[in-house]
Amino acid sequence: MSLIGTKLFTWWKGEAVGQDTFGNRYFRAKDGSRKRWVIYKGKPEASKVPPEWHAWLHYTTDDAPVHGVQHKPWEKEHLPNLSGTPYAYRPEGSVAKSGHRPAATGDYQAWQPE
């Protein structure tokens, strides 16, 4: 379905449920069916959906996390998958970063069966 088709479908058949910290908006069907969906802010990327909203979208829970979720102090903030973007991790020696691998140090010894 095109973006315009999705927006028309959402306007006609959808009921807003909430919004996450990334600005993604979540909907459910007005007619009482179990259909749930998300309209992404920016490029559609499934990894931008936080875990609590993912659980709601996939019917793991019936309660939408509209008031947020109490996170543990040791939990890190959710980040979308950055692979393939300019913000992706590129270690030293990566072809995508500088293209120069560090010289071998000679500390590797191949395993030989006895």
Q: Report how far residue 79's alpha carbon sits from residue 45's, in angstroms, rounded to the nearest whole number.
A: 12
Q: Where are the domains of the chain?
A: 3-57
Task: Write phi, then psi, for 9 (nearest 5 degrees).
Answer: -60, -45
Question: Quick check: 1 pLDDT over 70?
Answer: no
Question: Residue 23's pLDDT is what?
Answer: 92
Considering only CA atoms, give the Rg of the chain: 22
DSSP 3: H
User: Which residue reads 């990334």 in tokens?
Assistant: 22
Q: What is the model's pLDDT at position 99?
A: 65
Q: What is the pLDDT of residues 4-63, one digit of tens each?
A: 777 777 888 889 999 998 899 999 998 888 899 999 998 888 888 999 999 999 999 888
pLDDT digits 0-9 by tens, 83-114: 888 888 888 777 777 766 667 777 788 899 98
**66 in Cβ contact with 18 (< 8 Å):** yes
